[in-house]
Amino acid sequence: MKKIIPAILTDDVNDLKDKLGKVHGLTDWVQIDIMDGRFVNNTSVELKDLAQISTDFNFEAHLMVLETEKYLQSAQETNIKRVIFHVEAADNVDGIIEKIRTYGFEIGIALNPETDLENVLPYKDVVDVILFLGVKPGFGGQDFMPSVIDKIKQLREIDSNILIEVDGGVKLDNISVLNSVGANYFVIGTGLFSAPDIKERFNQLQQKLT
């Protein structure tokens, strides 16, 4: 299964609504970046802002936050289907996974570019997806770090079934490589929304996966 997931990183609710409108009809999944200004040096819209928007998207919340558990109730009150938390922000990974599971979300675990793959391998059989950050988290428009390609390839060689998501710096010129080493989900923000014609860019990206 290969899927492009538009990513929205913003602190402006109107910008959030505008971007959702621009990808309506192109995809059924959208990622919303949630940042607390502590785990990363940036802040974002809040989950309660998302709850005020009527939409038929399936949302995944990429929680770039220190206290994942505090966001789960708000996530349940919105249309969040998948919650992704960072291994670097978790003192008790098993406990967070169990807590997320009680809310009925799909579960994702993310790792930053500099984090060793070994940090998430113990959890690959109890989460739904592993997300590789291709850039330092918190800001859009960064260049993809090529070293992450080797980690994606390594995980795919270890497990042929795990769903692998890659997020940050994904563009037309590298999506084919990421596809070839085993990624399933391609989270794209700037590489999609910066295009003059977003629908055309989405289709161009999709064609790279066929």
The whole-angstrom separation of Cα 210 and Cα 3 is 11
**pLDDT 10s digits, 121-148:** 999 999 999 999 999 876 666 789 999 9
The length of the chain is 210
Q: Mark whether 11 is an active-site residue.
A: no
The whole-angstrom separation of Cα 46 and Cα 48 is 5
Q: CA 54: distance to chain centroid?
A: 21
- Work out the average pLDDT over 22-33: 96
Determine which one of 15, 18, 33, 125 is catalytic.
Answer: 33
Q: Is 180 left (phi over 0), alpha (psi -120 to 50) or beta?
A: alpha
- Work out the average pLDDT over 85-114: 96
pLDDT for the residue 141:
66
Determine which one of 36, 167, 173, 197 is catalytic.
Answer: 167
Residue 154 binned pLDDT confidence (cut-offs 50, 70, 90) = very high
- Work out the average pLDDT over 144-158: 96
Q: Mark whether 33 is an active-site residue.
A: yes
DSSP 8-state code for residue 77: T
**pLDDT 10s digits, 46-73:** 998 888 888 889 999 999 999 999 999 9
Topology (CATH level 3) of domain 3-207:
TIM Barrel (3.20.20)
Kindly tell me if the per-residue pLDDT of 43 is higher than 90: no
- Work out the average pLDDT over 99-118: 97
Please state the pTM of the whole predicted model.
0.95
